[in-house]
Amino acid sequence: MNIKLDSDTISSMNVFSDVTTVAPRDCITNGDKIIFVVNQGQAGIAIGKDGMKIKMLHEMLKKEILVVEYSDDPVKLLENIIRPNKLISGYVANGQDSEKKIEASVNGKPNYTKIKLAKLLMQRYFNIMSINIR
């Protein structure tokens, strides 16, 4: 994985780290949202009690803040992204032209933003081009 970060992204990551005391592993700005990817077990610390730290970041950065825990397993990462929806089952499959995709069954329908985020992160980390959620 070779990810390049621009100066604005690095600045956002520094603000995130200063406010939350958690060093993000990645940061993606997507329109009016900033997605911070943190190591496993760090999301609760980053969010803070009653979402206090996220509210502070929202005020400082003037964007909606999303925090996702990273996983080396694409299915587990998908599960982390779609929370609070529950992943019933999921697997990575090869599609046409050996294109990797994720097939998943979810309890409830995740909102469009979460699906869009999942696609973005799956492409970025695992070169998975499609997600089929049932």
Q: Where are the alpha helices (DSSP H) in the chain?
A: 7-20, 43-47, 52-61, 74-82, 112-126
Predicted confidence (pLDDT) per residue in 30-80, tens digit: 889 999 999 999 999 999 999 999 999 999 999 999 999 999 999 999 999
Q: Which amino acid is at 38?
A: V
Percentage of the chain exceeding pLDDT 90: 57
Helix axes 7-20, 52-61, angle to 10 degrees: 150
Q: What domains are defined for the chain?
A: 7-69 (3.30.300.20), 74-133 (3.30.300.20)
Q: What is the largest CA-CA distance in the chain?
A: 46
CB 75 within 8 A of CB 105: no
Radius of gyration of the chain (CA): 15
Helix, strand, or coil here: 128? strand
Predicted confidence (pLDDT) per residue in 113-125, tens digit: 888 889 999 999 9
